[in-house]
Amino acid sequence: MQTVALDIEAIRKEVEDQAYSVVRPAGLEQLCELARQDYFEALTRSELKPPRKSFSYPDLAKAPWRKLAISSTNGIGEPYAQFLQSTYFDQNQSPYQHLNKLFKFVIELRNKLMDVAVDFGDDPIRDGFWNACRVHHYPSGGGFMVMHKDTYFPVALGKYSFYQLLVPFSVKGRDFHTGGGVVIDRNGVKHNTDELGGLGSVLVYDGRTYHGVEDVDPDQIVSFDSQKGRMSLVSNPYCTVIPARIDV
């Protein structure tokens, strides 16, 4: 899977003009299906941790870190209420080859959009940032994230441009039925990202874009071990000196 066929400038312009861009690279849907199976394997093997139990990026080389993200605020105290679980991965961890490949693609595309080296974040000491590769899993039974703008990352990145890339990791109508990701365009129109792009797409937006996750299947009972729900894959550059409990 390569990013060479993607028009980086066209994606940037669409984000600028529309607030988001949806791209569907060839082969991405097949890779997502395989990477989902890696994630489900990790889901069964990983112990679920509480929201405020800290870890550091070297810990991920030992095993994925699966944690709850349930709070009226995010990990740095911003008032973004959320109800989900997040599983963090080392992008080079050998047991999950398909996830590794997908994370590598997302990181390379993100870095090209940021106009930095394609391996930015691979060396946390050199770069001052590490790639926080994770899957967000909003469970059926009410998983959500309140509508918000990303304010932390644009500031933390300093001189670097901020782009958020989100890969839908579930299918509305199969893995969940109501709610899901939403984004507000420059005209104030709300779009459901799980319907707009869906599995096999990448949603790109910046820090000015309002987005969130509306209540997922609130008619169901929550299970954090279930493979049902709304899922997405992301990889932000986290500042090396900031505790990894930040979950935004």
Tens of pLDDT, residues 102-133: 999 999 999 999 999 999 999 999 999 999 99
pLDDT at 52: 87
pLDDT at 220: 97
Mean residue pLDDT across the chain: 91
Q: How far apart are alpha carbons 22 and 188 in whole angstroms? A: 17
Mean pLDDT of 23-27: 94
Q: Residue 245 pLDDT more than 50?
A: no
Q: What is the pLDDT of residues 179-220, one digit of tens each?
A: 999 999 999 999 999 999 899 999 999 988 999 999 999 999
pLDDT at 154: 65
Q: Residue 248 pLDDT more than 70?
A: no
Output 46-55 pairs: Cβ under 8 A, ≥24 positions apart.
Answer: 46/87, 48/85, 48/224, 51/75, 51/245, 51/247, 52/245, 53/245, 54/243, 54/244, 54/245, 55/88, 55/244, 55/245
Mean pLDDT of 152-175: 86
Give the global pTM: 0.93
C-alpha atoms less than 13 angstroms from C-alpha of 110 in its C-beta half-sphere:
28
